[in-house]
Structure 1
Amino acid sequence: MKKIIFRKLLLDCLTFFFLALFGISTIIWVFQAVNFLDIMIEDGRNYNVYFIYTLLNFPKIISRILPFALFFSFSYTFIKYETNNELIIFWNHGVSKLSLVNFFFWISIIIMMFQILLLSFIVPNSQELARSKLRNSGIDYFEGLIKPKKFNDTVKGLTIFTEDKNDDEEFKNIYIKKNNEKKGFQITFAKKGVFETKGNKKVLVLYDGKTLTQNGENITNFDFSKSDFGFTNMDSHLVTHKKIQEQSTILLIKCMESFLEKKNYKIINCNKSFPRNIYKEIFKRLISPFYLPVLILISLLLILTSKENLKYNKNKFSIFFLGFGIIILSESSLGYITNNLIKNISILILPIILTLIIYSIFFYKLKISTNKF
Structure 2
Amino acid sequence: MKKLLYRKLFKDYLLFFLIALFSSSLIIWVFQAVNFLDIMVEDGREYTVYINYSLLNFPKIISRLIPFVLFFSVFYVLLQYELKNELIIFWNFGEDKKKFVNFIIFVSTFLLLIQFLLTSFIVPNSQNKARSFLRDSSVNFFGSFIKPKRFNDTIDGVTIYTENKDKDGYLYNLYIKKDIDKGFEITYAKKGIFKQISNVPVLILYNGETIINNVNQITNFNFSKSDFLLKNLQSNTITTTKTQEMKTMDIISCVIAINNIKANLFKRKQDEIQNCTSPNRINITKELYKRLIVPLYIPTLMLVPYLLILSSKEKLNFKKLKLITFLAGFFTIIFSEGIVRFINKEFTENIVIFISPLISFLFLYLIFVYKLIYKNKIK
Which string of whole-angstrom CA distances, capped at 9 and with x for unpartnered residues, describes residues 123-153 of structure 1? Answer: 1100110111100001111112311111111
Other-structure match for 2:184: 185
Which string of whole-angstrom CA distances, capped at 9 and with x for unpartnered residues, describes residues 246-265 of structure 1? Answer: 11111111112212248623
The alignment status of 1:32 with 2:32, answered yes or no, reads: yes
TM-score with structure 1 setting the length: 0.96
Query: What is the CA-CA distance between 1:82 and the residue it aligns to?
Result: 0.9
Q: Contact (CA 8 Å) 2:143, 2:169: kept in 1 or not?
A: no
Which string of whole-angstrom CA distances, capped at 9 and with x for unpartnered residues, describes residues 218-270 of structure 1? Answer: 22222222222121111122323211111111111111221224862311121
Which string of whole-angstrom CA distances, capped at 9 and with x for unpartnered residues, describes residues 181-209 of structure 1? Answer: 12x21111111112222121222211121
Other-structure match for 2:156: 156
Bigger CA drift: 149-158 or 336-345?
336-345
Other-structure match for 2:237: 238
Other-structure match for 1:215: 214
Specify the SS of the correspondent of 2:345: coil
Query: What is the CA-CA distance between 1:278 and the residue it aligns to?
Result: 1.7
Equivalent position amino acid for 2:210 in 1:
T
Q: Contact (CA 8 Å) 1:163, 1:174: kept in 2 or not?
A: yes
**Which runs of 5 or more residues in structure 1 are unaligned?**
none
Other-structure match for 2:329: 323
Query: What is the CA-CA distance between 1:370 and the residue it aligns to?
Result: 4.2
Other-structure match for 1:264: 269
What does 1:192-211 correspond to in 2, within 5 Å?
A: 192-211=191-210
Specify the SS of the correspondent of 2:153: coil
Specify the SS of the correspondent of 1:6: helix
1:191–1:123 CA distance, 2 compared to 1 (3 A): same
1:175–1:282 CA distance, 2 compared to 1 (3 A): same
1:162–1:121 CA distance, 2 compared to 1 (3 A): same
The alignment status of 1:56 with 2:61, answered yes or no, reads: no
1: CA distance, partners of 2:327 / 2:361: 17
What does 1:1-373 correspond to in 2, within 5 Å?
A: 1-182=1-182, 184-258=183-257, 259-261=259-261, 264-265=269-270, 266-272=272-278, 275-367=281-373, 370-371=376-377
1:260–1:82 CA distance, 2 compared to 1 (3 A): same
Aligned length, in residue pairs: 372
2: CA distance, partners of 1:50 / 1:289: 30
2: CA distance, partners of 1:76 / 1:57: 28
Query: What is the CA-CA distance between 1:117 and the residue it aligns to?
Result: 1.0
2: CA distance, partners of 1:25 / 1:268: 31
TM-score with structure 2 setting the length: 0.94
Other-structure match for 2:265: none
Query: What is the CA-CA distance between 1:272 and the residue it aligns to?
Result: 4.0
2: CA distance, partners of 1:60 / 1:356: 29
Specify the SS of the correspondent of 1:260: coil
Bigger CA drift: 288-297 or 268-277?
268-277
Q: Contact (CA 8 Å) 1:155, 1:236: kept in 2 or not?
A: yes
**Which runs of 5 or more residues in structure 2 are unaligned?**
263-267
Percent identity of the aligned residues?
Answer: 52
Equivalent position amino acid for 2:244 in 1:
Q
Q: Which stretches of structure 1, 4 residues or longer, exceed 3 Å deviation after superposition? A: 368-373
Equivalent position amino acid for 2:23 in 1:
G
CA RMSD in angstroms, aligned pairs only: 1.6
2: CA distance, partners of 1:158 / 1:267: 32
Which string of whole-angstrom CA distances, capped at 9 and with x for unpartnered residues, describes residues 35-58 of structure 1? Answer: 111111121111110110111111
Q: Contact (CA 8 Å) 1:170, 1:194: kept in 2 or not?
A: yes
